[in-house]
Amino acid sequence: MNSRASAIPDSPQQRPRVVPELIQRTLRVSPEAQPEAQARRLLQQDQPIEAVAMALMHGLDDLAAELLALGSGTLARITGDFDAFFAVVQRLGPERIQRWPALEAAAIWALSLTNQLRLAAVRLDELEARIPQLIAEGRTFITENPRAPFDRTDPATGMQCWAGMMRTLIASLAGESRAALHLAQSWLRDFPRATEYDRATVQCATGLAYFMNERYPEAERNGLAALAVFRTERIEYGMAQAATCAGSAQILQGRVQQAGALLEDSGGRISSGLHHPTYADVPLSTLRAFAQFECGEFAAALAQAQQNLQRSARLPFPLLLYSSLCVVARSLLALNRPDEALALFDRVDFQGAADAKDWWDGKFAIERARTAAVAGETARRAYMGPAAVRDLLELLAAGRRGPDPALLRPLRARLQQAAERRDSDALALALFLKARIEHAIGQPLQARRSVQQLLTAELTRERVGSLASLSGGLQPMFGEVLRSLLRNPRSATQALRKLAAALGQAPAAEPCEEPQAVLSKRERQVAAALLDSLSNREIAARLHVTEQTVKWHLWNLFGKLGVRNRTGAVRALMKQGFAS
């Protein structure tokens, strides 16, 4: 147990000194006023930090406990200095804390935001068990925060509502996604008149749970809804969690630039609102490293993620740990250091609740197998988790051991599922495996087409870092297709230029202006079907036309491309960097 997190000091003689910064802030107060009266006046003026500091400076510990309870823990909320908050709580002692249940609630809130989740859950159980007694005594731990006023129907409902909200948040942060979703649904049903702040907290927890279940659109939607409320109420720690949830979901849906803008806005608001944004910066720094990596800034992302990994390894927060692990491993692959990337998986482990551990084991196994496939090594570890994860691991291993055309069918199904779920990671991995297998079984044109789709698909084209990390397992085909796309003015996007620069494959200063065949909309559809290796009958079924109509469009297409057959058309389209 972390001694600074405990609400009960190890020894009654321990009396942590008041934070000098807080004492300095009380020096502006007139020395002629009585300390108690002046401290209460400061609280009435919405300055609880100065009020508590003045009481402690004059040895009025009982008064400090009362003021801190009435301020609902704003010593931590506004300054962001949780170390000072825990020092004050420790100095006050257990008897005073028992007298002010609002102070217990504030400590639970602070413990959860510093990722001391097990201790927070224990304290929450103890406080929730006392609710009937508090109701009988006419007391409550619900206090009004000037920055997010409460509007609950009665103290009993208010306390139950708050306890349910905190239980949902703790379960979500601990990675217990199934429990968090169940708790959130029950809470929304039981407390329809909850405050906007409480509802936003549960929405943020729900978003994190959806993220762990790979339901990224729902994760983004809940994260953004919570972020809007936290911005209005200026709740910086809520902003950090909600922005990380929404931004990470945006990246995994292929919208890297949008996530970067969200990070910049939220980071600016948080840093300007907190004096000590240390703990709020933990999730934001994870998102920052993720965004840097996907923008092609591999060295900066690697340094930030390694620091996060060292810090996150001590926290029961699987999303932070997994995100940092991915950025470090993929940055090392992009920097052509595969041995270091593989060695990383022998040094990282996660210990948490059973639900979170199952999630972690599956994600860890897939990421290690992905790294091994790029590095040219067969994954060694056995995995006994869910069938969906085992099937993907088997595809990764089979693609390395002995390519089989039969593997293409499940990969096509995975491509469709990934597109429907808007999961860019799953789409990229499926296209990576598809290209390798097609190349190994003697289908080079189809393999190049898969690589081209990997580089140009809506879900993957902005993820420069992830594309670079896969490039080592697809060379020299990857570089050839990339250069072909860069030669075409219509396909030479800024993201592809950034990818080429990051891989040391600098393109020409400007794309060459080769004559391009002007194709009609229907001819472009037929060309895309050609690149998908469809027969005339399959093209007719896709476009809902007759086979004779398909032959007519093919004849026109061959003439515009200056070729005589389907093979020549596919080569010409690939050379021009055609993207459907």
Q: How far apart are alpha carbons 343 and 547 in whole angstroms?
A: 54
- Read off the tokens for 131: 């609710």
> Bridge partners of 148?
145
Among 211, 309, 292, 265, smallest CA distance to 465 is for: 292
Residue range 104-140, pLDDT digits in tens: 888 888 888 777 888 899 999 999 999 999 888 888 8
Residue 192, φ and ψ in degrees, nearest 5? -70, -20
With tokens 């898969």, the residue in question is 450
| Residue 328, CA distances (Å) to 22, 214, 464, 510 in order | 39, 21, 15, 33
- Find the radius of gyration of the CA atoms of the chain: 29
184 has pLDDT over 60? yes
Residue range 390-401, pLDDT digits in tens: 677 777 666 555
Among 425, 70, 473, 489, smallest CA distance to 248 is for: 425
152 has pLDDT over 60? no
Among 140, 160, 243, 318, smallest CA distance to 168 is for: 160
Tell me if 274 sits within 8 A of 482, measured CB to CB: no
Q: How far apart are alpha carbons 558 and 215 in whole angstroms?
A: 43
Question: Higher-confidence residue: 487 or 505?
Answer: 487
Mean per-residue pLDDT over the chain, rounded: 80
Of the pLDDT bands very low, low, confident and very high (cuts 50, 70, 90), residue 21 is: very low
Q: Which helix (H) or strand (E) holds 414?
A: helix 408-421
| CB hemisphere CA count around 447 (13 angstroms) | 21
Tell me if 46 sits within 8 A of 146, measured CB to CB: yes
> Bridge partners of 145?
148
The predicted structure's pLDDT at residue 406: 83
Residue range 276-321, pLDDT digits in tens: 666 777 788 889 999 999 999 999 999 999 988 877 555 547 888 8
Residue range 400-435, pLDDT digits in tens: 555 678 888 888 889 999 999 999 999 999 999 899
Q: Is 94 exposed, middle or buried (0-12, 13-18, 19+ CB in 10 A)?
A: middle
Residue range 332-346, pLDDT digits in tens: 999 999 999 989 888
The predicted structure's pLDDT at residue 74: 55
Task: Give the whole-number percent of the chain exceeding pLDDT 90.
Answer: 30
Q: At what angle do helices 521-531 and 547-561 cross, to 10 degrees?
A: 90
pTM for this model (two decimals):
0.79
Neighbours of 537 (CB within 10 A): 10
Q: How far apart are alpha carbons 198 and 455 in whole angstroms?
A: 42
Q: How far apart are alpha carbons 266 and 262 in whole angstroms?
A: 6
Tell me if 163 sits within 8 A of 89, measured CB to CB: no
- Read off the tokens for 138: 């006419």
The predicted structure's pLDDT at residue 421: 92
Question: Higher-confidence residue: 554 or 576?
Answer: 554
Contacts by 254-257, CB closer than 8 A, 24 or more apart: 254/422, 254/424, 254/457, 254/458, 254/459, 254/460, 254/461, 254/462, 254/463, 255/462, 256/291, 256/294, 256/295, 256/462, 256/463, 256/464, 257/462
- Read off the tokens for 306: 């390694």
| Residue 40, CA distances (Å) to 65, 98, 166, 353 in order | 12, 21, 29, 44
257 has pLDDT over 60? yes
The predicted structure's pLDDT at residue 387: 66
DSSP SS3 for 145: strand
